[in-house]
């Protein structure tokens, strides 16, 4: 089957009309006995039901690492095979784009780095990646510590008063405070108060979520969209966020102008270590619209994803007290009462494994939701062709691709223009790829081995994607989670509150719980700290 496909690609590159090529080559292909991708049928009504995810996993067990799922006029190829995922994301990534994702994300991210393709993506990626250098990450670890300390103070009050706390919203606020400072030097201070801008961010996020599960896009209906109080509120919120971003960009420009700038690779401004400051100082030549899109993209990408990891970690810890004890033992001996530093990140190995395992388990669920959202978004697109194009797909970490040319995936030839969904859920939970795949077991990766990533796990583990479009915030997010978890379990014990509602995942847009994570927080009666003696320090002490 190789030659016709090569010929076809060649002709297509020479500018032959695609329709004609398709007609001719379909006829030729029809005479070939190549393998056809297995096909499974779905229906819109199945998507609306709670149990939508389970069939997807069962379809994988029935049809294998790649199969076609058809919904009326639309079909997708579902990939659950590590080597095919690697081929699409890494080895032949040039032949794939983000496809429909760009349209769906337009509402909040515009041409930001996550949805962008082609030249815009290349230029923006090259500008943004250097901003997250080693020295920046070190500065961020300080920020993570301060922000988590604010949360600890809040929990201290709750522990004294004997009041239960809803941890999910606190984690959401913690990560919002962090990402605001980290990306554009804005202190949302949402852990302390509800300012207009904090409310605006949540209005937009909630709206994005609601829209993505609505079968009919009523927010696009003319007149209604202007008079509905709710839509007016959303519009005002978006405007407030955009105006705030414009102000922050202006303030930062002024700072950069006034500074005696000596820009170099590891440039950090002490007063404002944000990504925005780095970009402006680097002379990044970019429109303010593009800059705003990138900032907004990073705000969304780095906010709820990190909050979700924390929420599900504490939920799982409440179920596994032995894991919590082990964590506390490690944190006590590595940190004592200090704020975490970059050196500690390497030493907190067990803490890191816990996060790796939470990501394996929960990120996968996240992807279920993405699949759901994606199909619904396509459906919305389908029934709102005549309306203004405004579709929503709120959470960024999705492995959605469209083929830009014909390709071979394993033994199957595929055509240009196919929509792919790489099911991280199936990869992370596959009984063929993992031992006790449903079990929460941080020790599945030995502590003295490397931290698992997509490369050393051969693409069966993809919490941050892989290849050229891999997450730019992977190290940021990992350290943020390590610092927060270490500081919290060092000070407190966490248990599910008595009479707390059952913790379930929503099939909504994100990885939220249905009714929050209500916990009882108690101050730890600390065991004596067993410091791990560093010989150099000891010598210095003795010398004094």
In the complex, the residues that contact ligand HEM under the rule CB under 6 A are: 113-114, 125, 297-298, 301-302, 305-306, 309, 363, 396-399, 463-465, 469, 471-473, 476-477
- To ligand HEM, the closest distance from the beta carbon of 488 in angstroms equals 17
Residue 499 burial (C-beta neighbours within 10 Å; 0-12, 13-18, 19+): exposed
- Using the 8-state DSSP alphabet, how is residue 172 labeled? H
Q: Which is nearer to ligand HEM, 234 or 424 (CB)?
A: 424
Q: Which is nearer to ligand HEM, 47 or 424 (CB)?
A: 424
Which pair of tokens denotes residue 20? 């004609």
Which pair of tokens denotes residue 242? 């955009």
Indicate the Cα dihedral angle 113, 117, 118, 121, nearest 10°.
0
- To ligand HEM, the closest distance from the beta carbon of 298 in angstroms equals 4
- To ligand HEM, the closest distance from the beta carbon of 528 in angstroms equals 34
Please identify the residue of the shown chain whose CB is closest to the bound ligand HEM.
Answer: 473
User: How many whole angstroms separate alpha carbon 526 and alpha carbon 328?
Assistant: 10
CA-based torsion, 27, 31, 33, 39: positive or negative = positive
Cross-strand bridge partners of residue 465: 463
- To ligand HEM, the closest distance from the beta carbon of 473 in angstroms equals 2
Q: Which is nearer to ligand HEM, 5 or 481 (CB)?
A: 481
Residue 182 burial (C-beta neighbours within 10 Å; 0-12, 13-18, 19+): buried
Give residue 173's Cα distance to chain centre. Answer: 16
Cross-strand bridge partners of residue 523: 492
3-class DSSP state of 335: helix
- To ligand HEM, the closest distance from the beta carbon of 124 in angstroms equals 8
- To ligand HEM, the closest distance from the beta carbon of 476 in angstroms equals 5
User: How many whole angstroms separate alpha carbon 473 and alpha carbon 485?
Assistant: 18
Phi-psi domain of 473 (left: phi exceeds 0; alpha: psi -120 through 50; beta: other): alpha
User: How many whole angstroms separate alpha carbon 159 and alpha carbon 157?
Assistant: 5
Q: Residue with structure tokens 């927060």?
A: 484
- To ligand HEM, the closest distance from the beta carbon of 179 in angstroms equals 6
3-class DSSP state of 28: helix
User: How many whole angstroms separate alpha carbon 22 and alpha carbon 15?
Assistant: 13
Indicate the Cα dihedral angle 500, 195, 300, 314, nearest 10°.
-30
Q: Which is nearer to ligand HEM, 280 or 521 (CB)?
A: 280
Q: Which is nearer to ligand HEM, 82 or 465 (CB)?
A: 465
- To ligand HEM, the closest distance from the beta carbon of 245 in angstroms equals 15
CA 521 to each of CA 40, 84, 483, 500: distance values in angstroms, whole numbers, following the listed order? 48, 45, 18, 13
Q: Which is nearer to ligand HEM, 173 or 469 (CB)?
A: 469
- To ligand HEM, the closest distance from the beta carbon of 231 in angstroms equals 29
Q: Which is nearer to ligand HEM, 362 or 497 (CB)?
A: 362
User: How many whole angstroms separate alpha carbon 269 and alpha carbon 95?
Assistant: 39
User: How many whole angstroms separate alpha carbon 253 and alpha carbon 124?
Assistant: 19
- To ligand HEM, the closest distance from the beta carbon of 120 in angstroms equals 11
Please give, one letter per residue, the 3-state secondary structure of 54-70. HHHHHHHHHHCCEEEEE
- To ligand HEM, the closest distance from the beta carbon of 160 in angstroms equals 32
Beta-sheet strands, E only, within 45-119: 66-71, 74-79, 96-97
Closest CA to 520 of 481, 501, 491, 492: 492
- To ligand HEM, the closest distance from the beta carbon of 516 in angstroms equals 20
Q: Which is nearer to ligand HEM, 267 or 363 (CB)?
A: 363
Q: Which is nearer to ligand HEM, 96 or 219 (CB)?
A: 96
Count of C-beta atoms within a 10 Å radius of residue 11: 16
Q: Which is nearer to ligand HEM, 18 or 126 (CB)?
A: 126
Contacts of 27 (CB under 8 A, 6+ apart): none
Q: Which is nearer to ligand HEM, 305 or 369 (CB)?
A: 305
- To ligand HEM, the closest distance from the beta carbon of 81 in angstroms equals 17
Q: Which is nearer to ligand HEM, 290 or 297 (CB)?
A: 297
H or E element in which residue 383 lies: helix 364-383
User: How many whole angstroms separate alpha carbon 51 and alpha carbon 213?
Assistant: 15
Q: Which is nearer to ligand HEM, 4 or 145 (CB)?
A: 145
């Amino acid at each position: 089957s190789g030659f016709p496909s090569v010929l076809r690609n060649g002709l297509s590159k020479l500018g032959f009309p695609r329709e004609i090529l398709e007609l001719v080559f379909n006829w030729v292909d029809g005479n070939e006995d190549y393998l056809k991708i297995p096909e499974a049928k779905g229906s819109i009504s199945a998507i609306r039901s709670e149990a939508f995810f389970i069939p997807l996993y069962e379809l994988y067990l029935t049809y294998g690492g790649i199969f076609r799922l058809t919904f009326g006029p639309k079909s997708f190829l579902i990939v659950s095979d590590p080597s095919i995922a690697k081929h699409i994301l890494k080895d032949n990534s040039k032949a794939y784009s983000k496809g429909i994702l760009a349209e769906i994300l337009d509402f909040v991210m515009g041409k930001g780095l996550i949805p962008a393709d082609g030249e815009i993506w290349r230029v923006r990626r090259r500008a943004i990646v250097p901003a997250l250098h080693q020295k920046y990450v070190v500065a961020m670890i300080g920020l993570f510590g301060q922000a988590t300390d604010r949360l600890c103070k809040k929990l201290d009050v709750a522990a004294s008063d004997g009041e239960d706390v809803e941890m999910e919203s606190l984690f959401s606020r913690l990560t919002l405070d962090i990402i605001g400072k980290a990306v554009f030097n804005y202190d949302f201070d949402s852990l302390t108060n509800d300012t207009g801008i904090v409310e605006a961010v949540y209005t937009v996020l909630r709206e994005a979520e609601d829209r993505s599960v609505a079968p009919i896009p009523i927010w696009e209906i003319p007149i209604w969209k202007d008079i509905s109080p709710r839509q007016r509120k959303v519009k005002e919120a978006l405007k407030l966020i955009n105006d705030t971003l414009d102000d922050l960009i202006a303030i930062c420009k002024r700072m950069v102008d006034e500074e005696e700038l000596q820009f170099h690779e590891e440039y950090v401004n002490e007063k404002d270590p944000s990504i925005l400051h780095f970009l402006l100082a680097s002379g990044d030549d970019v429109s303010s619209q593009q800059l705003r899109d990138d900032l907004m993209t990073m705000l969304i990408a780095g906010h709820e994803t990190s909050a979700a990891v924390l929420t599900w970690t504490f939920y799982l810890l409440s179920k596994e007290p032995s894991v919590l004890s082990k964590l506390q033992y490690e944190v006590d001996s590595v940190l004592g009462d200090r704020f975490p530093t970059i050196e500690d990140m390497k030493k907190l190995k067990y803490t890191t494994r816990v996060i790796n395992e939470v990501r394996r388990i929960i990120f996968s669920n996240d992807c279920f939701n993405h699949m759901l959202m994606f199909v619904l978004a396509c459906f919305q697109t389908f029934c709102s062709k005549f309306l203004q194009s405004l579709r929503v797909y709120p959470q960024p970490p999705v492995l959605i691709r469209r083929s830009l040319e014909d390709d071979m995936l394993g033994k199957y030839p595929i055509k240009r223009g196919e929509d792919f969904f790489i099911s991280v859920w199936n990869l992370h939970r596959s009984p063929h790829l993992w031992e006790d795949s449903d079990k929460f077991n941080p020790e599945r990766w030995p502590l003295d081995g490397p931290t698992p990533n997509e490369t050393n796990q051969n693409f069966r583990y993809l919490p941050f994607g892989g290849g050229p479009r891999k997450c730019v915030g992977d190290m940021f997010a990992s350290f943020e989670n390590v610092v927060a978890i270490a500081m919290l379990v060092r000070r407190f014990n966490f248990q599910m509150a008595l009479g707390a509602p059952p913790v379930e995942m929503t099939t909504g847009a994100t990885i939220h719980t249905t009714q929050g994570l209500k916990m009882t927080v108690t101050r730890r009666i600390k065991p004596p700290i067993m410091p791990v003696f560093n010989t150099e320090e000891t010598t210095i002490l003795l010398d004094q």
